[in-house]
C-alpha cells in the first residue's frame, strides 16, 4: 500500500526548497542566483512554498545598522511536518518521533525481548500510541514512518533476516493502514550511513560500519546511498575471514560477522566468564578493570574487524569510515587500535571515526528517508541541527 504523501511534486519547487535548506537563511535574489531560475519564477515558487508552510519569511522590517531594511530572508519551516522511525533489532525496538529535519520530539525504547513476527507489530503499536499522544499539531502532520531492518531489504520486502524471523513478513500494509501514512523499510546499516551523511559529515564519500548482531556497511558515493542490485551491497559481515570456519546463517563458513560482531564478542566473553547476560556496559567495565579475557577478546575483535575494513576500504576508497558499535564507543582506545592496523597505501588515508549519532543513527537516517520522499529532494542534508541537543 503506497499512500504517497509527497509534499513537493514539481522539480523547480524542489530545487528552490533544497537551496533554502542548504543555505539555512537566504534571500529570494540569492535563491535566484543559486538555482539559475529567474526572479519572477523564484517569487512565484516561494509564494507557494510559504502558503503551503514549507518555507517561512524571517527578518521582515528589521533595519540594519547602516540604515535601510534588511532583505527578507527565507528559511525552511521544519516544524510543518513529522516523521517516526523504528529501529528493529533482534532483541530491541527503538523509536523516535521528530520534526522532518530530525529535531527530536520524543523517543522510546523496548529492550531485552527477542523480536519475532508474533510480537513486532504490538511492540511498534505500543510505541506509536505513546508518540501519538506527544505529537504536536502541524500543517502536514505525520508524513511517513520508516522501519530499520537488520537484514536485507529489497523492493519494499524483507528478503533475508539472519537473526530474527521477519523474512517476507509484511510490516508495511498494517502500519500504513492503521496510521494512514507512507511506510518505508530499509536496511539498518544503509539508514545509518544516510544519517551520518545528512547530519555528521562534510564528505560525499563515506562508509558507515554497523557492528551489532551482524556487521553491515552502508555505502554513500557522491552523496548517494548504494544498495546494489538486490539490496545486498555492503554485506561485509558475510565476506570470508576463514574459509573453513564457523557456519553462518547465510550458508557460508567463516564469515567475518561470526568472529567480529558484538553478539559474538558478548557470547564468547559470557562463555569465558560464565556470565549469562553480557552487553557493552558490562564488557567495557571488565575491559577498563583490566580483566584478561576482555582485553584479549577486544584485541581479537580489532584484528578481525580491521581485516574486514581493509577489504571494504580498498574496494570503495571512502574519505571517512564511521564505526557504529556500542563497544567501540565505550572503549575509544579500540578505535585508535583499529586505525593503527590500517596502514597500507590503500587504507592509510581513510579517516576512521566513532559515529557521532551513535545508536540513534538509524533513527536519524530513517527521518532522512521520509524527508527525501516527502520533500522530493534526492540529495538532502540538514546541517542546522545541534546534535548534542538532539541525541539523548
Ligand atoms: Zn555469512
Pairing of strands 152-154, 157-160: antiparallel
**What is residue 60's predicted lDDT score, i.e. its pLDDT?**
63
Three-point CA angle 56, 60, 65, nearest 5°: 135
Residue 265 CA, ligand 1 centroid: distance in Å: 16
Q: Are 121 and 183 in contact (CB under 8 A)?
A: no
Q: What is the per-residue DSSP string for 55-77? A: EEEE-TTPBPTTSSBPPPEEEE-
Coil, strand or helix at 358 = helix
Examine residue 3 and state whether it is found in any structural domain, yes or no: no
Residue 277 CA, ligand 1 centroid: distance in Å: 24
Q: Helix 361-375 to helix 188-195 angle, to the nearest 10 degrees?
A: 80
**What is residue 345's predicted lDDT score, i.e. its pLDDT?**
94
Q: Residues 172, 283: one domain?
A: no
Examine residue 6 and state whether it is found in any structural domain, yes or no: no
Q: Are 111 and 135 in contact (CB under 8 A)?
A: no
Domain count, the chain: 3
Residue 214 CA, ligand 1 centroid: distance in Å: 9
Q: Residues 216, 353: one domain?
A: yes
**What is residue 64's predicted lDDT score, i.e. its pLDDT?**
56
Instruction: Report the alpha-carbon distance of residue 131 to residue 112 in Å, rounded.
Output: 21
Q: Which three cell numbers stand for residue 370?
A: 521520509
Q: What is the per-residue DSSP string for 10-44? A: SHHHHHHHHHHHHHSSEEHHHHHHHHT--HHHHHH
Beta bridge partners of residue 69, listed in sequence order: 63
Examine residue 215 and state whether it is found in any structural domain, yes or no: yes
Residue 87 CA, ligand 1 centroid: distance in Å: 22
Query: Which among 234, 278, 236 is positioned nearest to 257, based on CA atoms?
Result: 236
Q: What is the per-residue DSSP string for 107-126? A: EEEEESS---TTTHHHHHHH
**What is residue 112's predicted lDDT score, i.e. its pLDDT?**
84
Residue 282 CA, ligand 1 centroid: distance in Å: 27
Q: Residues 42, 140: one domain?
A: no
Q: Which three cell numbers stand for residue 109?
A: 525504547
Examine residue 345 and state whether it is found in any structural domain, yes or no: yes
Beta bridge partners of residue 130, listed in sequence order: none
Q: Residues 185, 232: one domain?
A: no
User: Any idea what the CATH number is for the domain that residue 64 is in?
Assistant: 1.10.10.10
Q: Are 126 and 116 in contact (CB under 8 A)?
A: no
Query: Which among 88, 76, 89 is positioned nearest to 183, based on CA atoms?
Result: 88
**Grid-cell match 567475518, residue found:** 256
Residue 163 CA, ligand 1 centroid: distance in Å: 11
Residue 26 CA, ligand 1 centroid: distance in Å: 49
Q: Are 227 and 155 in contact (CB under 8 A)?
A: no
| Contacting residues for 280 by C-beta, under 8 A, at least 6 apart | 262, 266, 326, 327, 329, 330
Q: Residues 126, 210: one domain?
A: no
Which of 25, 44, 76 lies at the terminal end of a domain, its last residue?
A: 76
Instruction: Report the alpha-carbon distance of residue 329 to residue 39 in Å, rounded.
Output: 49
Examine residue 5 and state whether it is found in any structural domain, yes or no: no
Q: How many CA atoms lie within 13 A of 211 on its CB side?
A: 31
Residue 248 CA, ligand 1 centroid: distance in Å: 5
Q: Are 152 and 189 in contact (CB under 8 A)?
A: no
Instruction: Report the alpha-carbon distance of residue 107 to residue 128 in Å, rounded.
Output: 10
Q: Residues 206, 303: one domain?
A: yes
Query: Which among 310, 307, 305, 352 is positioned nearest to 332, based on CA atoms?
Result: 352
Q: Which residues of the chain have pLDDT under 50?
A: 392
Q: Are 4 and 26 in contact (CB under 8 A)?
A: no
State the CB neighbour count (10 A cutoff) for residue 36.
8
Which of 59, 76, 93 lies at the terminal end of a domain, its last residue?
A: 76
Q: Are 387 and 19 in contact (CB under 8 A)?
A: no
Residue 61: which domain range?
Answer: 11-76
Q: Are 237 and 161 in contact (CB under 8 A)?
A: no
Residue 57 CA, ligand 1 centroid: distance in Å: 53
Q: Residues 311, 369: one domain?
A: no
Examine residue 174 and state whether it is found in any structural domain, yes or no: yes
Q: Residues 285, 174: one domain?
A: no
Q: Residues 116, 230: one domain?
A: no
CA 159, distance to chain mean position in Å, is 20
Name the DSSP letter for residue 81. E
**What is residue 326's predicted lDDT score, i.e. its pLDDT?**
95
Name the DSSP letter for residue 247. B
Q: Are 220 and 193 in contact (CB under 8 A)?
A: yes
Q: Helix 39-51 to helix 28-35 angle, to the nearest 10 degrees?
A: 120
Residue 152 CA, ligand 1 centroid: distance in Å: 12
Residue 249 CA, ligand 1 centroid: distance in Å: 6
User: Any idea what the CATH number is for the domain that residue 146 is in?
Assistant: 3.30.420.40
Amino acid at each position: 500500500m503506497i499512500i504517497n504523501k509527497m509534499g513537493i511534486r514539481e522539480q523547480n519547487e524542489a530545487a528552490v526548497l533544497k537551496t533554502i535548506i542548504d543555505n539555512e537563511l537566504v534571500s529570494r535574489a540569492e535563491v535566484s542566483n543559486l538555482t539559475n531560475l529567474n526572479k519572477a519564477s523564484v517569487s512565484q515558487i516561494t509564494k507557494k512554498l510559504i502558503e503551503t508552510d514549507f518555507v517561512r519569511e524571517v527578518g521582515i522590517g528589521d533595519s540594519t545598522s547602516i540604515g535601510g531594511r534588511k532583505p527578507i530572508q527565507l528559511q525552511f519551516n521544519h516544524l510543518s511536518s513529522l516523521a517516526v522511525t523504528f529501529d528493529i533489532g533482534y532483541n530491541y525496538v527503538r523509536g523516535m518521533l521528530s520534526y522532518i529535519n530530525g529535531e527530536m520530539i520524543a523517543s522510546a525504547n523496548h529492550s531485552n525481548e527477542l523480536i519475532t513476527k508474533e510480537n513486532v507489530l504490538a511492540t511498534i503499536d505500543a510505541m506509536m500510541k505513546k508518540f501519538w499522544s506527544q505529537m504536536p499539531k502541524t500543517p502536514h502532520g505525520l508524513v511517513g514512518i520508516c522501519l530499520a531492518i537488520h537484514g536485507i531489504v529489497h523492493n519494499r520486502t524483507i528478503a533475508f533476516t539472519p537473526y530474527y524471523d521477519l523474512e517476507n513478513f509484511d510490516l508495511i500494509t498494517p502500519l500504513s493502514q492503521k496510521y494512514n501514512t507512507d511506510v518505508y523499510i530499509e536496511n539498518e546499516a544503509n539508514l545509518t550511513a544516510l544519517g551520518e551523511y545528512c547530519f555528521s559529515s562534510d564528505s560525499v564519500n563515506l562508509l558507515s560500519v554497523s557492528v551489532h548482531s551482524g556487521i553491515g556497511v552502508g555505502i554513500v558515493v557522491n552523496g548517494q546511498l548504494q544498495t546494489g542490485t538486490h539490496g545486498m551491497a555492503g554485506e561485509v559481515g558475510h565476506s570470508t575471514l576463514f574459509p573453513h570456519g564457523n557456519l553462518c546463517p547465510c550458508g557460508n563458513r567463516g564469515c567475518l560477522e561470526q568472529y567480529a560482531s558484538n553478539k559474538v564478542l558478548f557470547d564468547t566473553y559470557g562463555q569465558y566468564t560464565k556470565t549469562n547476560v553480557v552487553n557493552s556496559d558490562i564488557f567495557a567495565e571488565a575491559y577498563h578493570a583490566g580483566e584478561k579475557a576482555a582485553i584479549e577478546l577486544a584485541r581479537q575483535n580489532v584484528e578481525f574487524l580491521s581485516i574486514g575494513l581493509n577489504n571494504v576500504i580498498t574496494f570503495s576508497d571512502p574519505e571517512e569510515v564511521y564505526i557504529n558499535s556500542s563497544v567501540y564507543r565505550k572503549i575509544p582506545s579500540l578505535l585508535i587500535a583499529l586505525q593503527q592496523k590500517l596502514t597500507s597505501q590503500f587504507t592509510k588515508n581513510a579517516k576512521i571515526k566513532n559515529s557521532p549519532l551513535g545508536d540513534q543513527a538509524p533513527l536519524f537516517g530513517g527521518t532522512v528517508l521520509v524527508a527525501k520522499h516527502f520533500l522530493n529532494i534526492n540529495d538532502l542534508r540538514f546541517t542546522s541541527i545541534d546534535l548534542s541537543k538532539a541525541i539523548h
